[in-house]
Amino acid sequence: MPDRIFSDPNMTVDPNIIDVNEPDFEERVIAASRTTPVMVDFWAEWCPPCRALTPVLERVTAELGGRVILAKVDADENMKLAGRYQLRGFPTVILFIDGAEVGRFSSARPPEFVREFLGPHLDRPAESRRA
């Protein structure tokens, strides 16, 4: 798990934080988002803002205790996924609910921003989250 080098060393392993690659993206992101919102972090090892955002995303995901899954995708190793979602820079975070993209943001952000980004989409029926 090479992206773990960016993680906060004081964080415990969280089952809601997963590494995803192109072959398992459909199952672990698209299908999984039909039951739980999935926040996908497209990152690159050479990207300083990625190093700043990773611990923020992990911390917020841990705080939410299973209400969201954080899927981490190494963009350099998964260029087809980066192209599919027309990523223009890194990091880019895309939120999937019920198999569809419902929001995205780019660049490093503070925890408050990530919480506000997720807030409207959590603990609501899938139909109203997509609206």
Distance, CA of 52 to chain centre: 14
Assess whether 8 carries a catalytic annotation: no
H/E element, 102: strand 100-106
Sheet holding 38-43, edge to edge: 17-19, 69-74, 38-43, 92-97, 100-106
Q: Catalytic residue at 50? A: yes
List 20, 32, 40, 50, catalytic entry? 50
Catalytic residue among 38, 40, 47, 53: 47
Active site residues: 47, 50
